[in-house]
């Protein structure tokens, strides 16, 4: 089944994301975490993509396990900056052979000490979308950035490039994490005005430790509102309290989104089934509405 067909159903959908281990030695631990998340009846589970090596192979392994063994829709991430065009084509063909119908197309981070762009690699995500379309009947997702992509100085340019990517064949979008829902609502207004009509899944990251907040800021450059920083100042020194507060904050974000008509939510669960389960428990009656 394609994810776009599920997203178009008139009901609330909650999905989760997991990531492969850095080495093959950790695969069983990731399988165990994924198995627990699958028990929460998610709309789908996405699997991130590593920069070459075992993590890239393990993306397909985990996505196949989700689809075949857990009977849950899986979404395999695919990035192109760290791989040659031929390597990307091989991955697409492998995913097709495994029966994986859903791919999240990303440029990905540019590896250190690499000359980029070059003729051997796709430069933009829209080029990857076109390549995936050439290889089969996939459902294709892509990323979007409510606070603007760090490489684009002007938000108008960011939306113009997003429209180009969507027009190449993207079926749905997933946002980068954000912590102020007003940013998401403003972003939706601007992209709808620009003619981008595909479903947009807000990406929610439960921040359960001070160190996780620092990593999130470094990776995404996202803005943390004063309300969240107050929580961090008060509870950041107590792991148990910060975990509980982070889950509550993410839950509050999701409830507000649902109350304002958003039906599809993607949670960056960071291979933490206990956090995912706590959020779903908080939403147990709400998602039935």
Write the CB contacts of 80 (distance below 8 Å, at least 6 apart in sequence): 88, 105, 106, 107, 108, 121, 122, 125, 127, 128
CA distance 5 to 1: 7
Q: Spell 124-157 as b/e; 16+ CB within 10 A means b.
A: bbbbbbbbbeeeeebbbbbbbbbbbbeeeeebee
Write the CB contacts of 42 (distance below 8 Å, at least 6 apart in sequence): 14, 15, 16, 72
What is the DSSP annotation of 144-162? E-TT--TT-SSHHHHHHHH
Half-sphere exposure of residue 120: CA atoms within 13 angstroms, side-chain side = 8
CA distance 288 to 258: 11
Q: Are 147 and 203 in contact (CB under 8 A)?
A: no
Active site residues: 17
């Amino acid at each position: 089944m394609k994810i776009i067909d599920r997203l178009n159903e008139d009901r609330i959908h909650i999905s989760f994301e997991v990531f492969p281990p850095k080495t093959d030695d950790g695969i069983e631990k990731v399988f165990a975490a994924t198995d627990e998340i699958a028990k929460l009846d998610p709309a789908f589970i996405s699997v991130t993509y590593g920069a070459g090596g075992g993590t890239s192979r393990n993306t397909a392994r985990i996505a196949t396990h989700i689809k075949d063994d857990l009977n849950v829709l899986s979404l395999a991430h695919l990035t192109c900056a760290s791989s040659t065009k031929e390597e990307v084509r091989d991955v697409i063909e492998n995913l097709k052979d495994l029966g994986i119908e859903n791919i999240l197309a990303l440029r990905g981070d540019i590896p250190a000490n690499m000359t980029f762009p070059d003729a051997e690699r796709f430069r933009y995500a829209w080029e990857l979308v076109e390549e995936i379309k050439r290889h089969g009947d996939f459902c294709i997702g892509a990323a979007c950035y409510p606070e603007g992509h760090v490489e684009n100085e002007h938000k108008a340019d960011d939306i113009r490039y997003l429209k180009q990517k969507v027009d190449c064949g993207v079926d749905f979008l997933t946002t980068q994490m954000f912590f102020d829902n007003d940013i998401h609502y403003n972003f939706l207004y601007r992209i709808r005005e620009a003619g981008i009509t595909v479903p947009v899944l807000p990406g929610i990251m439960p921040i359960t430790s001070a160190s996780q907040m620092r990593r999130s800021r470094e990776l995404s450059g996202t803005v943390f509102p004063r309300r969240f920083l107050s929580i961090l100042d008060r509870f950041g020194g107590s792991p148990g309290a910060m975990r509980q507060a982070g889950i509550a904050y993410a839950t509050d974000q999701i409830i507000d989104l649902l109350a304002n008509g958003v039906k599809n939510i993607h949670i960056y669960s960071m291979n933490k089934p206990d956090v995912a389960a706590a959020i779903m428990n908080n939403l147990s009656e709400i998602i039935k509405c």
